[in-house]
Amino acid sequence: MVGKWGVVLVAAGRGTRMGTSESKQYLPLRGKPILVHTLEVFERMDEVGEIVVVAGSGEEERCRRLAEQYGLSKVKAVVAGGSERQHSVYNGVKALGGRTDWVMVHDAVRPFVTSSAVRACCAAAEKHGAAVLAVPVKDTIKQVDEAGMIASTPDRKSLWAIQTPQAFRRGLLTEAHERARAEGFVGTDDAMAVERLGARVAVAQGDYTNIKITTPDDLPYAEFLLAERTKRESGL
């Protein structure tokens, strides 16, 4: 269905691990802010009807100017984030239009998610009520105790690295966030809040290239991925 989905794009982080004075979502990637590259993915998708950008406090107008500069007409609102990512997402969900019943939450610094992966996540959410993009873990994972000793080795076949977008029926996500707020719970992602309601969350397989640009080491790889994508789109 055209325009069925709303997107909450979380761009409120300061990115201290990047080691730059500039927030990582505004760092240039081939002359364009990372945030803009990410927004353009959803701008091009017919399924997306509106986008809400959650910015750091004081950066709302900056995001509005970027949306105008790059012709991102689906950005319908820019709101300030909260003290935790979870609070930022809740602010974004509340700012969506009243007719939007399905919502995706995505990190502003994941510009390489593909439209096919987004659609797979949406389809899983529409079937089950909630879904996340993820990829199977490649490495053996060890659980380590407080003394720095290996406590256990989980079965790798059952381990997946979770990405975004995470997609939900809007009412379910709103209920999850409101209960978390009432109980003082802060989770590491939105799926965790939904899981606390007893709801099941489906997994849609994503791509290993859907990286989160977090540290300086990520930037050269991001440049490479963007160059490869440009080649594919130009047919070279």
Q: What pLDDT sits at residue 22?
A: 80
Question: How sure is the predictor about 125, in pLDDT bands with cuts at 50, 70 and 90?
Answer: very high
Q: What pLDDT sits at residue 153?
A: 97
The CATH topology of domain 5-132+162-234 is Spore Coat Polysaccharide Biosynthesis Protein SpsA; Chain A (3.90.550)
Q: What pLDDT sits at residue 3?
A: 77
Alpha helices in the chain, H assignment, sequence order: 34-43, 60-69, 85-94, 115-128, 170-183, 190-195, 218-234
CA atoms within a 13 Å half-sphere pointing along the CA-CB vector of 195: 14
Question: How sure is the predictor about 229, in pLDDT bands with cuts at 50, 70 and 90?
Answer: confident
Q: What pLDDT sits at residue 4?
A: 93
Instruction: Measure the CA angle with vertex 79, ends 184 and 226; round to 5°.
Output: 105
pTM for this predicted structure: 0.94
- What the block records as the tokens of 90 is 């809740």
Q: What pLDDT sits at residue 87?
A: 96
Residue predicted with more confidence, 185 or 22: 185
pLDDT over 80 at 1, yes or no: no
User: Each residue of 134-155: pLDDT tens digit?
Assistant: 999 999 999 999 999 999 999 9
Q: Could you give the maximum distance between any two Cα atoms of the chain, in Å?
A: 54
Q: How many helices (H) does the chain have, and how many strands (E)?
A: 7, 11
Provide the residue ranges of all domains of the chain, joining segments of one domain with +.
5-132+162-234
> Residue 189 has what DSSP assignment?
S
Alpha helices in 103-217, H assignment, sequence order: 115-128, 170-183, 190-195
Question: How sure is the predictor about 19, in pLDDT bands with cuts at 50, 70 and 90?
Answer: low
Q: What pLDDT sits at residue 236?
A: 57
| Stated length of the chain | 236
Spatial distance between the Cα atoms of 157 and 137, rounded to a whole number of angstroms: 8
17 touches 115 (CB < 8 A)? no
pLDDT over 80 at 17, yes or no: no
Mean pLDDT confidence for 160-169: 98
Q: What pLDDT sits at residue 232?
A: 81
pLDDT over 70 at 113, yes or no: yes
User: Each residue of 37-95: pLDDT tens digit?
Assistant: 999 999 999 999 999 999 999 999 999 999 999 999 999 999 999 999 999 999 999 99
User: Each residue of 172-223: pLDDT tens digit?
Assistant: 999 999 999 999 999 999 999 999 999 999 999 999 999 999 998 999 999 9
pLDDT over 90 at 234, yes or no: no
